[in-house]
Structure 1
């Protein structure tokens, strides 16, 4: 089965990171694909008037074939209206980019798209792209936890303003981003402008995804990070002490992963996921993986943010003989031992009790229901 739903990309990044500048450069290129961009206001994008072919109260049409519209009532209504006008032949576009505000958390936007039945059946999340200002990135990450969260939730990290930033500072920022987000590819904005296709197809959670796409989605490409870097070990990532060299904000983000060679019991996997979401849901920035369950011929890809999960997609093109499950969790305000203890549940042959995984879970539950 091939993907027929329209791809949607979230473009995020803290104030001044260069989201609008990147959009203008992408929209100015004569691409084969036509892009629909959704922003808060037309004026915030600062579209080059030479690019505008036509304009009405709701939509700006560009000479490149792309279009731009502002959020009117709310995002879901705006997106649904665009999709309906596309279905009637009034508008023509091949993908959607949603530019968030500088302080926005991508999680609620993902949840909006998943909860709307019409949108969930007509679009799919293609990836989250986060811009980080190389010049001011260190200061922003130190001062703003929102910027740290944006970096940790990305599928692709783009460093802007590297042309005016000393190479040593740029390299230090990249190392910091690698520790905050062990799975995202990191590029310079100039690389993305030179090849816009690198912005698309980031998520493996789509119909007909290939095995290599799914694996790349779970771990950074080998050429990006030296083999000796602990982040390259999918069963461990970086220990907490590496993060504490930076800001206290960084120490609030932890990553852990696990690889299991044998297929999992479905009851064990369900119990692990239900327990993790019930007790730590608000703090789950990303939970994703490739999972083999006993009794199934092929693995499936799953992905969730907080307590909302995309519909799992089967990997029908998976190589025969490989039954390895690979799971990655990126969370805030959870210790690495907590994450590892949670993942250890998946090694069980039967579902363990919750108190064996999260000591004091009864107290947490009591607090949540007060």
Structure 2
């Protein structure tokens, strides 16, 4: 594995959420001066406010902050390859990280796929944070009306809540509650126009050895707080069952196992699950206890793609066991749990081999659409 791979972050958010404003305020910070940014059009980022230092080419400019800013004139792969070639030739300064700003209606999953699935890009780049910006005035309505907004929230590692000064405190509370239910593993921060965004949005991620344990501990804390079903009173006197982590047919749920897993069996189950239902798995994050491995192993992915597993030095809060948070569209959590237990020989049937799994559990991850 190439140790010099460049961490590449994705900044996304629906139209008008404030992602360009966030990016502009991040780039003027000295600690982010060695950042390269890929955007769609120079005009979208307000380069006049950043003061262009030098024009390097038709699609690349240097900013006085030291950042490199380039536009995508073809496909993303071509832009990334051209950026690396310019760095190799010395026509632009070295950069330590890349931030990609998506369009307002983009699903971040194809960008992740481009970085993770292409062998050449995978050699030079690794995926950092997916940062999703959601504004209080329109966030809830966008999530309700636009599948792209919902997918942006589900894929996020960081959720940045903006424009609280343009809405009521009640709206902000409702939005934060909905975001936390949809994506319980994402770190959520509130940002007003008067606040300076934390550079850690683009400096700290799962690849950072110093903060990796804290990152995973936050995932697990989010999983522990997932509520499941609860009774809810209605004015007509009836009591309904309500899953706070469900939004339409999108819901977040957690898989658990107290026994150590066999890596070959788990890898087979996960591969089959994603091959059959990859488009429905919007986000997956987890910590595995594996047979023959001293410490915990971190897994995460978006749709069909799973990142390279990472190792932690110790168990967060000393608590062993496998816990996997899945945010999925249209999948029955109970059936996912049963297939997980059956194929991995854990849970209610710890000694049952995968071949003995009931047919509905096998068909769930083997039958083609």
TM-score of the superposed pair, with normalisation by structure 1: 0.84
Structure ranking higher in strand proportion: 2
Residue equivalent to 1:189: 191
Contact 2:32–2:67, Cα closer than 8 Å, also in 1 = no
Contact 1:354–1:361, Cα closer than 8 Å, also in 2 = no
Distance 1:88 1:151, change over 3 A: same
Alignment equivalent of 1:238, drawn from 224, 228, 236: 228
- Do structure 1's residue 296 and structure 2's residue 293 form an aligned pair? yes
The CA distance in 1 between the partners of 2:287 and 2:360, in whole Å, is 22
Alignment equivalent of 1:213, drawn from 212, 215, 218: 215
State the Cα distance separating 1:177 from its structure 2 match.
0.7
Contact 1:182–1:237, Cα closer than 8 Å, also in 2 = no
Residue equivalent to 1:105: 107
Residue equivalent to 1:312: 309
- Do structure 1's residue 338 and structure 2's residue 335 form an aligned pair? yes
Contact 2:245–2:253, Cα closer than 8 Å, also in 1 = no
1:69-108 matched pairs, under 5 angstroms: 69-91=70-92, 92-108=94-110
Unaligned runs of 5+ in 1: 221-230
Once the two structures are overlaid, the 10-residue window that deviates more, 79-88 or 125-134, is: 79-88
- Do structure 1's residue 325 and structure 2's residue 327 form an aligned pair? no
What are the superposed Cα offsets for residues 128-172 of structure 1, whole Å, 9 maximum, x if unpaired? 011111011121112112111111111111111111110011001
Contact 2:25–2:197, Cα closer than 8 Å, also in 1 = no
SS at match of 2:324: strand
What are the superposed Cα offsets for residues 178-208 of structure 1, whole Å, 9 maximum, x if unpaired? 1111111111123995242331355425678
The CA distance in 2 between the partners of 1:83 and 1:337, in whole Å, is 46
SS at match of 1:139: helix
SS at match of 1:194: coil
Distance 1:270 1:187, change over 3 A: same
Distance 1:242 1:84, change over 3 A: farther
Once the two structures are overlaid, the 10-residue window that deviates more, 37-46 or 193-202, is: 193-202
SS at match of 1:302: strand
TM-score of the superposed pair, with normalisation by structure 2: 0.84
- Do structure 1's residue 351 and structure 2's residue 354 form an aligned pair? yes
1:1-370 matched pairs, under 5 angstroms: 4-31=4-31, 33-49=33-49, 51-55=51-55, 56-91=57-92, 92-190=94-192, 194-201=196-203, 203-204=205-206, 210-220=212-222, 232-233=224-225, 237-239=227-229, 241-243=241-243, 250-316=247-313, 323-345=320-342, 346=344, 347=346, 348-349=350-351, 350-351=353-354, 355-356=358-359, 358=361, 361=364, 365-366=367-368, 368=369
State the Cα distance separating 1:320 from its structure 2 match.
11
SS at match of 1:108: helix
Distance 1:192 1:148, change over 3 A: farther
Contact 1:237–1:256, Cα closer than 8 Å, also in 2 = no
Distance 1:28 1:185, change over 3 A: same
The CA distance in 1 between the partners of 2:227 and 2:205, in whole Å, is 20
Unaligned runs of 5+ in 2: 231-240
How well do the aligned residues superpose, as a CA RMSD in angstroms?
3.0
The CA distance in 1 between the partners of 2:287 and 2:244, in whole Å, is 30
The CA distance in 2 between the partners of 1:191 and 1:205, in whole Å, is 30
Once the two structures are overlaid, the 10-residue window that deviates more, 302-311 or 13-22, is: 302-311
State the Cα distance separating 1:20 from its structure 2 match.
1.0
Between the two proteins, the alignment pairs up a number of residues equal to: 351
Distance 1:197 1:261, change over 3 A: farther
Distance 1:158 1:191, change over 3 A: farther
The CA distance in 1 between the partners of 2:215 and 2:3, in whole Å, is 14
Deviating 4+ runs (over 6 angstroms): 206-209
What are the superposed Cα offsets for residues 38-90 of structure 1, whole Å, 9 maximum, x if unpaired? 01111222222552111231211111101211002210111122122223333
Contact 1:127–1:201, Cα closer than 8 Å, also in 2 = no
The CA distance in 1 between the partners of 2:326 and 2:245, in whole Å, is 22
Distance 1:275 1:4, change over 3 A: same
